[in-house]
A = this chain, B = another copy of it.
Amino acid sequence: MPKQVDHRERREAIAHALWRVVEQQGWARATMREVAREAGVSLGQLQHYFSSRTAMLTFAIDFAAEQTSHRVTHGLAALDQPPHPREVLRVVITEMLPLQPDARTTSRMNAAYVLEALHNPDLQAQASLGLREGKAMVERLIRQALADGQIPSDRDPTVETDLILALTGFTPLLELDVVTPQAALAAIDQHLGRLFHPSERPAF
């Protein structure tokens, strides 16, 4: 196996160990020492792969974003082709929410990471960039659907993009069982239904 691939695999195994620590013990426990213990390597070996805690967190968050992206790609492949933009947005939103174990892990990583980023300028630039890329992707979908007449022309693409992103606000409500997964999905479907077919609101 080429050396570079092996290096990448080791780093991914360490990122998985970090996720387990965050999932089971919380972000504050995710020290280099604790992650080394969880990964079954020495602190010195860990430091060979990551020179600092910030470098480790940066890699782990990028890797989490990659995993979310894989889940979205997989979800999109399961849709009728070509997929309706409403269905594309539904997959993007639901894969960001803690609705199943993989997504819950990456969701907790992201929430902890935003808080840590407020006190760590290196992480802040990366966190902000990640969110901006997500926003740009949603906005492209909305603008295309507007151009294709799937969203009424009186909707403002910026407002609609921001309202879609804000649906990630279901995260703490789901984590603390204040809203059930079924209720969150019903609300998301209502929101998307009104965006794409505002004149065809179902009667309850």
Contact = CB atoms under 8 A, between A and B. Distances in A.
A168 interface: yes
Interface string A30-49: 00000000000000000000
B175 A114 contact: yes
Nearest to A98: B118
Contacts of A114: 111, 172, 175-176
A29 to B, nearest CB: 8
Contact of A108 (B118, B167, B176): B118
A170 interface: yes
Copies in the complex: 2
Contacts of A156: 190, 204
Given A26-B118, A154-B203, A162 B176 contact: no
A103 interface: no
Contacts of A132: 178
A115 B154 contact: no
Contacts of A186: 159, 162
Interface stretch (A62-70, A84-92, A123-131): A123-131
Nearest to A114: B172
Interface string A180-201: 0001101100110010001001
A176 B127 contact: yes
Interface of A: 24-28, 108, 111-112, 114-119, 124, 127-128, 131-132, 135, 154-156, 158-159, 162-163, 165-173, 175-179, 183-184, 186-187, 190-191, 194, 198, 201-204
Given A165-B169, A166-B167, 10 more contacts: A111-B114, A111-B115, A114-B176, A117-B176, A118-B175, A154-B201, A155-B204, A159-B187, A166-B187, A169-B171
